[in-house]
Amino acid sequence: MFASLRERWRIDQVDLPADEARTVADVWRVLTKEPLPEEVLAAVNMEYARPEAPVKEGDEVAFFPPVTGG
């Protein structure tokens, strides 16, 4: 988790057994016990991914807070 998500959940890096999560949304749910918010961005192996994207053993899943700028 990055930035404000890391601060809120106090999670930096976690290794999960492959059978605990089959999708990006599952990974979030295992870590936070909540559904993945629409505004949170996710990546699998450094490529943006949708919540229903599959994850497999060895994948790196990252979560990013909404980005603002201007």
User: Where does the pLDDT of residue 69 fall: very low under 50, low under 70, confident under 90, or very high at 90 and above?
Assistant: low
pLDDT (tens digit, 9 = 90+) per residue, 23-43? Answer: 999 999 999 999 999 999 999
**69 lies in a domain?**
no
In contact, 38 and 5? CB cutoff 8 Å: no
Specify the CATH number for the domain of residue 7. 3.10.20.30
pTM of the model: 0.88
* pLDDT, tens digit, 9 for 90 and up, residues 42-65: 999 999 999 999 999 999 999 999
Domain hosting residue 22, numbered range: 3-64
